[in-house]
Amino acid sequence: MSNPPTTPSHRAKSRLSRRGVIGAAGAVAAGAALSPMVFAATESGGSTTSTAGTKTEKFPATRSKEATGAGAATVAFPVNYVGLRWTGDQDGAGIRFADAWQDVKGDGCASVNLDGGGTALMAAANATAYDVKVPDGATDVRSLAIDTKGGPQRSGAVPADTTRVRGVAYLSRAAWGADESLRFKADGTENSPTKYYPAQVLTVHHTDTPNGDPDPAATVRAIYQYHAITNDWGDIGYHFLIDEAGRIYEGRYSGDDGIPAHDKDGNVVTAFHTGGYNSGNLGIALLGTLVDQGPTDAARSSLTRLIAVLSRFHGLDPQAKVTYVNPVNGVTKDVTTVGGHRDWMATDCPGATMYALLDDVRKAAAKP
């Protein structure tokens, strides 16, 4: 697929319906039935029953403010995260929220700017001001202050029952509070139209965000804003995300029919998680930073389960050595069916500790 454009577009709201609940019956219709994994959906205050099959939930509207160039920026609301993007040398960027500068790593999950330079999402701990520094000669420097917790409440229709994909429970985009207007330009056209290809491989990531996250759904909303606006991808880059409690979140929008991340024929929607190798590549991200520590038992269990289900659905062997062929441009790469982001490009993702565990995850996912 072509590289995403470097200049973000203004977006307008567009009202589109979302798919209905995908229950066990739909799972059986899609393929072999599997035992369900049940977990509670995220609870949110102010829910009331509305139309059949849905309920109304309230979410904080995401607030954001963009700044251009290096230097100081102030914000009128407490900031959870700052997304940063620049063109130029990848190393040497930093951000300061109080007295100490934090280096912006040049090898994080979403830090590779295909136009040269880097991007990063930095936790801001409710700061209302920050400073940005970038390497000498850097251009197109943009930062986006993001608050996904304290904004005014907005309402959305959420599935009333647990949604499942082939027996595995997940939180739909509506259930974690995705603002679908972020996917659209000011003229109402979709910024990143859906394209679908048969699945060939699965790639594991970590989000490089803080561990011990008290509000993972808010972090997913921040990642969505960062990917869709700062990186101008028009949507969240992953197909699925998994938090430390083992909850699975639906990622990139894939249409109103079919299972999450797929069209009605079982093809995978192209996302933005492994630059140059996205089409036919299904991306799963674990929330947190898994460099010096591994995933929680719950997160690892959900990751293994999801990989097993998706592999069976697509007829893939998680342990097999395969040659990935990009269906868009024919570029090939020899990889394992289930790999880490670092198998595709220079990045520390999914973290050294998580990467060391991938072989065990593959083995467990391959068990009948």
Question: Is 143 within the bounds of a domain?
Answer: yes
CATH number for 183: 3.40.80.10
Mean pLDDT of 346-356: 95
100 lies in the same domain as 43 = no
141 lies in the same domain as 70 = yes
pLDDT tens for 207-253 read 999 999 999 999 999 999 999 998 899 999 999 999 999 999 999 99
Lookup: tokens for 42: 């995220």
Question: Is 6 within the bounds of a domain?
Answer: no
Question: Is 13 within the bounds of a domain?
Answer: no
Mean pLDDT of 97-111: 78
pLDDT tens for 334-349 read 999 999 999 999 889 9
pLDDT for residue 108? 65
pLDDT for residue 111? 55
111 lies in the same domain as 221 = no
Domain around 138? 63-147
Band (pLDDT 50/70/90 cuts) for residue 106 is low
218 lies in the same domain as 270 = yes
Instruction: Please say which residue of 99, 130, 147 terminates a domain.
Output: 147
Instruction: Please say which residue of 114, 147, 180 terminates a domain.
Output: 147
pLDDT for residue 213? 97
Is it the case that residue 13 has pLDDT exceeding 80?
Answer: no
120 lies in the same domain as 182 = no
Question: Is 15 within the bounds of a domain?
Answer: no
205 lies in the same domain as 70 = no
Spell out the SS3 assignment of the chain: CCCCCCCCCCCCCCCCCCCCCCCHHHHHHHCCCCCCECCCCCCCCCCEECCCCEEEEEEECCEEEEEECCEEEEEEEEEEEEEEEEECCCCCCEEECCCCEEECCCCCCCCECCCCCEEEEEEEEEEEEEEEECCCCCEEEEEEEEECCCCCEEEEEEECCCEEECCEEEECHHHHCCCHHHHECCCCCECCCCCEECCCEEEEEECCCCCCCCCHHHHHHHHHHHHHHHCCCCCCCCCEEECCCCCEEECCCCCCCCCCCECCCCCEECCCCCCCCCCCEEEEEECCCCCCCCCCHHHHHHHHHHHHHHHHHHCCCCCCEEEEECCCCCCEEEEECEEEHHHCCCCCCCCHHHHHHHHHHHHHHHCC
Instruction: Please say which residue of 99, 120, 147 terminates a domain.
Output: 147
Question: Is 8 within the bounds of a domain?
Answer: no
